[in-house]
Amino acid sequence: MIRDISRLANNKFDLIVVGGGINGAACANLAAACGISVALLEKGDFAGGTSSKSTKLLHGGIRYLENFEFDLVHESLKERFIQWQAAPFLVKPLPFVVPVYKNDARPLWMMRLGVWLYDFLSGKYRIGRHRFLTSAEITSLAPGINPDGLVGGVEYFDAQMDDARLCLENVLMADMHGALAANYIEVQSFIKDNNNHAIGVKALDRLSKQPMDIFASKIIVTAGPWSDELIEKDVPHSVKRLRPTKGVHIVYRGQISPSAFLLQSRSDKRIFFVIPFKGNSLIGTTDTDYHQSPDSVQVTDADIQYLLQEAGRVFPNFNFDRSKIITTFAGLRPLVADSGHPSRISRKHAIESSSSGVWFVMGGKYTTYRAIAEKVVLKALPHLASKMPYGGQYTLYGSGGSNEELKILSQRFEVPLDLIRYLQGIYGSRFGDVLNIAQGNHRLKEKICSCSPAIAAQVIYSRDVEMAQNVEDIMERRLGLSYLDCPKGDCRRAIEQILKYNS
């Protein structure tokens, strides 16, 4: 995947997609698969915003059942299954335990009804079967859980995913279909003709500081929490369409439980998760209104205190300590503006066309990204309906491949079988492309750091194939090393050295 800025400035495209998060990446992927010319523009790195700051789950949204959003849950469960089939190396079924205590906002009968209805709405797209749990069964699954007032619980299935890499899979697939994708390209305004119809964008290459005009027949904006800023650039003084809410997560050292837990907060009655994550634990999320610039979203002490306090109530023997936090991260949900408590605002999306003909996508949830992209592409370009790769045909860059060849490839590339499995879990069927870089250079097969199985060849692959422009792109969104416990920062220094000596 080549970042070819000269082709951006000198071409007119059938479609420009503004925003390289998951929705924009999927729009570019689907549209390019239909055979049209597409430019995908992202002002930061792909998945650099909300799309890499999620709870790392593809889920139907069991809590949306209490809002009677059965259509959203059903669509999400179907899309969860499609993603599992398309990218099983990135999407893994995961059982969730829901302990219920006396005086919880959602009693045991409600949770039992909820998981039954969840599986019913899944239909043929179910990835695991629910079950009812006694208090004794729950304490056996998590020996450190608080037994006081525990009346029982349930278990149901959702899926864990690598959000940044799933987004990148769509970008890479779009590129394979012929789309021209470029990160660090900021759209500053829209170019209009004499009829006030948008015919292109004025953009800035944030790396070279080069301005450029890029033209297209259609423009789709998938800017997430930045959507209101782009709407204002298109139609000044427009009414704001979003109500962003902030979601904060903690990566905590050690595994609190081998099972994933959905927990009910006592302080505000919302739910949050404690999930096994890369050998440690992911705790989140918060859901609070956010009124500042999306560029300045941060984790506060109050956010951390909320999550540690609520997790400590359910797991009192764990003695939660801030010194054991590996990292924290915060993202913004670009929810369509509505009244009420933030956690009860619908995750449904909205697709709207402005007076200048620009299409905007707002709201939605990660799980339904493919369906959202399909809808907006067909609204903007209805003639593509006969060429659209629908759900059952959806494939991604690393789709396919077989486990049967792993031992043979381990011998061929002269690397341990565990390394092959690790690479397959990131790149799917394309893991051999990474090892090909290391052929004839044993140093590129060496581990970057003791905290991870990652090897030096992955750094080169991130830069040369996956368009990583700096160390942060590699650490956070290509290899996910920022979530690992590396207190001395050896990973970062090693990546800097590999890039320096393999330029």
pLDDT digits (tens, 9 = 90+) for 426-458: 999 999 999 999 988 999 999 999 999 999 999
- Which residues, 6+ apart, have CB-to-CB distance to 6 below 8 Å? none
Which burial class, exposed, middle or buried, applies to 321 when counting CB atoms under 10 A from its CB (0-12, 13-18, 19+)? Answer: exposed
Query: How many Å apart are CA 259 and CA 131, to the nearest integer?
Result: 14
Q: Which amino acid is at 120?
A: F
Average pLDDT estimate for 159-175: 98
Instruction: Report d(CA 278, CA 490) in Å as an integer.
Output: 18
Give the pLDDT of residue 347: 79
Q: Which of 208, 206, 215 is nearest to 186 (CA)?
A: 206
* Strand residue runs (E) in 77-207: 91-101, 131-133, 150-161, 180-183, 185-192, 198-205
Cis? peptide before 285, omega within 30° of 0:
yes
Q: What is the pLDDT of residues 49-58, one digit of tens each?
A: 999 999 999 9
High-pLDDT (> 90) share of the chain, %: 87
Residues 142-169, buried b or exposed e (16+ Cβ, 10 A)? beebbeeebebbbbbbbbbbbbbbbbbb
At 272-287, the pLDDT tens digits run: 999 999 999 999 999 9
CA-only gyration radius of the chain, Å: 23
180 strand-pairing partners: 39
- Own/partner long-range contacts of 193-196 (Cβ < 8 Å, ≥24 apart): 196/355, 196/356
Q: Can you give the pTM of this predicted structure? A: 0.95
What pLDDT is recorded for position 407? 78
User: What is the rounded CA–CA span in Å between residue 479 and residue 495?
Assistant: 11
Beta-strand relationship, 359-363 and 349-353: antiparallel
Asked if the model's pLDDT at residue 401 lies above 70, the reply is no
Partners of 39 in the beta sheet?
A: 16, 180
Q: What is the pLDDT of residues 195-219, one digit of tens each?
A: 999 999 999 999 999 999 999 999 9
pLDDT digits (tens, 9 = 90+) for 225-257: 999 999 999 999 999 999 999 999 999 999 998
Question: Is the dihedral angle over the CA atoms 382, 387, 388, 391 positive or is it negative?
Answer: positive
Q: How large is the greatest C-alpha to C-alpha distance in the chain, in angstroms?
A: 72
pLDDT digits (tens, 9 = 90+) for 466-496: 999 999 999 999 999 999 998 888 999 999 9
